[in-house]
């Protein structure tokens, strides 16, 4: 496979060439080098497979995947593709099953993805069937290696991937364990179909600079202002990050002085309970956005908790899958609080509806500017952690890790 022939700009990750979002060949290469390469991809919450003998579908980039919990309670994941003619094995999103049977020709698999039976293998009445030396499992569904942390299930296809915790780095491990403090209760899910390349959404997630400028609801109600105490933590590899801020506002006037639309005076909520926050972690942090390369996001916005993952359906078609959760030990008031604060997130979210559209705004403009470069120099040119969020360091971290995976 002749993979990448493009040259990255000499300035390094302080520049991003726009062809990365519009090159169809690159999209195919990413599937092999990023998603099927030595990366850890978030598949689902353990809580989405609460019982033995159950399955749910997920994805590794564009590759469909089945995640199962077998009769022993073990988690498995394998490609959602029959060894025979390549049909999807599971056509439903989730279900209970002791084995997985391909609908096309009834070939059966155990919940670890091993082929266990071939319908009419010996034919019928001595006629038909497969030759005695046939190897029906010559091209089996590829099996993923699985690791879990704090109830999050990650998978990789590449045996060369480092152990999950090494891949994450110690700060990210700590950030995950902080949020995932107890057994999870799933509250619901939905998806957004974005008309943009997957990398544009991930850059948006890692871009702590935009948060209080694009999301004026956020700023107006002092949920997140760049003057609030917080910071940015970037894993040594650059691929993973945490952006956080404390819930208390330090009351800076920078926004008002700059006359930004975000700081309209006298803007108040009639029903401010949508923002009422209980410090359930006891550390004062009101916002923690954590990402893991390539496409995982763990979000704590006050008491609203969610995991997000991407399915890269096509070059400019990306499904953003949200699963919103609380904990099994939440009381009714906490569940109500989480449901009310869910107004902040998702496709109709007061502070996140813009994130569905912004990547599309870039995509529409840069498709005709493939050889132009984006300047990414907020906060310098490096990828170090910082105690300010007026920086694009985590975006540069993303590109650092991406380039290493892609070999340019």
Partner 1 sequence: MSSKGGGPLSRDAPAQTGVDIETTFAVQHLLARYIQALDDDRLEAWPEFFTESCRYLVTTADNLAQGMPLGLIYATSRAMLRDRVRSLRDANVYEAQRYRHVIAAPVIERGDGGLIRAQTGFMVARIMHTGETMLFVTGRYDDRILLAGPDAPRFVEKLVVLDSRVIDTLLAIPI
What are the residues binding partner 1 (CB under 8 A)? Answer: 186-195, 214, 216-217, 220, 264, 267, 269-271, 274, 319, 324, 335-336, 339-340, 342-343, 346-348, 350, 353-354, 356-357, 360
Shortest reach from residue 362's CB to partner 1, in Å: 13
Shortest reach from residue 323's CB to partner 1, in Å: 9
Shortest reach from residue 269's CB to partner 1, in Å: 5
CB nearer to partner 1: give 33 or 351: 351
Q: Is 127 helix (H, G, I), strand (E, B) or coil?
A: strand
CB nearer to partner 1: give 256 or 377: 256
CB nearer to partner 1: give 293 or 322: 322
CB nearer to partner 1: give 22 or 195: 195
CA distance linking residue 369 with residue 293, whole number of Å: 26
Residue partners of 205: CB distance under 8 A and separation at least 6: 289, 291, 297, 355
CB nearer to partner 1: give 267 or 408: 267
Shortest reach from residue 95's CB to partner 1, in Å: 12
CB nearer to partner 1: give 99 or 319: 319
Shortest reach from residue 298's CB to partner 1, in Å: 17
Question: Of 102, 69, 60, nearest to 84 (Cα)?
Answer: 102
The CA-CA-CA angle for residues 223, 230, 402, to 5°, reads: 105
Shortest reach from residue 115's CB to partner 1, in Å: 31
The answer to whether the CB of 290 falls within 8 A of the CB of 179 is yes
Place of tokens 């096509």: 314
Tell me the β-bridge partners of 289: 243, 299
Residue partners of 270: CB distance under 8 A and separation at least 6: none
Q: What is the largest CA-CA distance in the chain?
A: 87
Shortest reach from residue 62's CB to partner 1, in Å: 16
CA distance linking residue 179 with residue 307, whole number of Å: 11
The answer to whether the CB of 398 falls within 8 A of the CB of 35 is no
CB nearer to partner 1: give 181 or 185: 185
CB nearer to partner 1: give 102 or 306: 306
CB nearer to partner 1: give 153 or 194: 194
Residues 89-97: contacts with CB within 8 Å, 24+ apart? Answer: 89/141, 90/55, 90/57, 90/66, 92/57, 93/56, 93/57, 94/48, 94/54, 94/55, 94/56, 94/57, 95/54, 95/55, 95/56, 96/51, 96/53, 96/54, 96/55, 97/53, 97/54, 97/55
Shortest reach from residue 259's CB to partner 1, in Å: 16
Cβ-based burial of 259 (10 A; exposed 0-12, middle 13-18, buried ≥19): exposed
Shortest reach from residue 165's CB to partner 1, in Å: 31
- Could you give the C-alpha distances from 163 to 137, 166, 357, in angstroms and in order? 29, 5, 35
């Amino acid at each position: 496979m002749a993979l990448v022939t493009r040259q990255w700009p000499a300035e390094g990750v302080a520049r991003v060439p726009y062809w990365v979002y519009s090159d169809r060949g690159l999209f195919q290469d990413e599937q092999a080098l990023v998603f099927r390469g030595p990366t850890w991809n978030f598949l689902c919450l353990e809580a989405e497979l609460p019982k033995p003998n159950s399955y749910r579908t997920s994805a590794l980039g564009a590759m469909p995947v089945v995640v199962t919990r077998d009769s022993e309670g073990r988690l498995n994941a394998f490609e959602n593709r029959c060894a025979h003619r390549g049909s999807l094995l599971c056509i439903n999103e989730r279900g209970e099953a002791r084995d997985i049977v391909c609908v096309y020709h009834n070939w059966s698999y155990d919940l670890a993805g091993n082929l266990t039976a071939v319908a009419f293998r010996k034919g019928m009445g001595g006629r038909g069937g497969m030759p005695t030396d046939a190897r029906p499992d010559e091209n089996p569904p590829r099996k993923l290696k699985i690791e879990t942390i704090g109830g999050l299930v990650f998978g990789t296809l590449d045996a060369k991937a480092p152990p999950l915790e090494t891949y994450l780095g110690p700060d990210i491990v700590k950030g995950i364990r902080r949020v995932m403090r107890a057994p999870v209760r799933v509250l619901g899910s939905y998806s957004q179909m974005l008309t943009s390349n997957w990398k544009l959404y991930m850059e948006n997630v890692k871009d702590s600079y935009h948060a209080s400028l694009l999301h004026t609801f956020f700023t107006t109600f002092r949920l997140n202002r760049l003057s609030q105490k917080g910071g940015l933590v970037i894993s040594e590899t650059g691929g993973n990050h945490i952006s956080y801020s404390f819930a208390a506002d330090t009351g800076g006037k920078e926004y008002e002085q700059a006359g930004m639309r975000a700081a309209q005076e006298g803007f108040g909520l009639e029903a401010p309970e949508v923002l009422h926050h209980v410090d359930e972690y006891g550390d004062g942090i009101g916002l923690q956005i954590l990402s893991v390369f390539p496409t995982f996001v763990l979000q704590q916005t006050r008491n609203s908790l969610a995991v997000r993952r991407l399915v890269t359906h096509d070059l400019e078609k990306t499904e953003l899958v949200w699963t919103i959760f609380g904990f099994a030990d939440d009381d009714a008031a906490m569940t109500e609080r989480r449901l009310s604060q869910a107004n902040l997130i998702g496709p109709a979210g007061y502070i996140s509806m813009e994130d569905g559209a912004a990547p599309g705004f870039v995509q529409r403009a840069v498709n005709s500017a493939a050889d132009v470069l984006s300047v990414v120099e907020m906060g310098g040119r490096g990828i170090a952690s910082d105690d300010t969020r007026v920086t694009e360091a985590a975006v540069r971290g993303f590109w650092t890790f991406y380039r290493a995976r892609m070999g340019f």
